[in-house]
Amino acid sequence: MNITRYAALAAASTVALALAACTPAADKAAPADAAAMAPATADPMVGGAAMSPNDTIVANAAKASTLTTLVSAVQAAGLAETLSGAGPFTVFAPDNAAFEKVPAATRTALMAPAGKAALTKILTYHVVPGRLTAADIATQAQANGGTATLTTVQGETLKVAAGPNNTWVITDAKGGTSTIRQADVAQSNGMVHVIDTVLMPN
């Protein structure tokens, strides 16, 4: 996975303002095959911890043993306060195993102060404005030839389409793919879908 080159970005505070300005945009109709994305219950377990729909994205992620790298990255990028705000946001959350697929040297560089801009670009590429459920994504895919195109806060798009064995697969700007492993983890300020590979913008 090549993530060694990134364009210069605005300061994290500018990204935070852009995130805070986001408004929801999703059709709430649920198609018949939305169950293929395996929506979770009202209080699903992630990383051995119950995810309360009354807690924020950051507060819930901090409880999950499988999301510790993501939480550290969000803190390093200075996005914790923003993702604890009103939102709503939809976050495609890479678990710890997803981050392990990124070369160790690259992870270290991204977490260093000098890597903050590149890290912010990657993290905001995992955030979509609004509260998108599994049904919303399936509806968009059905209406667009089988593929939903989602515009991220970072500005580039993600493509989501049905994959093998009733899974849904996200294709990033570099052509890499990630599978949604747990959908519809409700948050007070949005929705989280746990994924198995870090998504990469151009």
Residue 42 has a pLDDT of 54
Burial of 47 (0-12, 13-18, 19+ CB in 10 A): middle
For the entire predicted model, the pTM comes to: 0.81
The rounded percent of the chain whose pLDDT value lies above 90 is 77
What secondary structure does DSSP assign to 84-109, as a single string? TSS--EEEEEE-HHHHHTS-HHHHHH
| Cβ contacts of 82 within 8 Å, gap of 6 or more | 15, 16, 19, 20
Q: What is the pLDDT of residues 130-181, one digit of tens each?
A: 999 999 999 999 999 999 999 999 999 999 999 998 899 999 999 999 999 9
Residue 116 has a pLDDT of 97
pLDDT at 92 over 50: yes
pLDDT at 54 over 70: yes
Provide long-range contacts, Cβ within 8 A and 24+ apart, for 106-109: 106/3, 106/4
Rounded CA separation 28/113 (Å): 40
Backbone angles phi, psi at 182, to 5 degrees: -145, 115
If pLDDT is split at 50, 70 and 90, which confidence band does 43 have? confident
Rounded CA separation 71/24 (Å): 24
| Cβ contacts of 172 within 8 Å, gap of 6 or more | 125, 158, 178, 199, 200, 201
Residue 198 has a pLDDT of 98
Of 6-10, 121-125, 155-159, 184-188, which range is least confident?
6-10
30, 138 Cβ separation under 8 angstroms: yes
Backbone angles phi, psi at 161, to 5 degrees: -145, 160
pLDDT at 185 over 60: yes
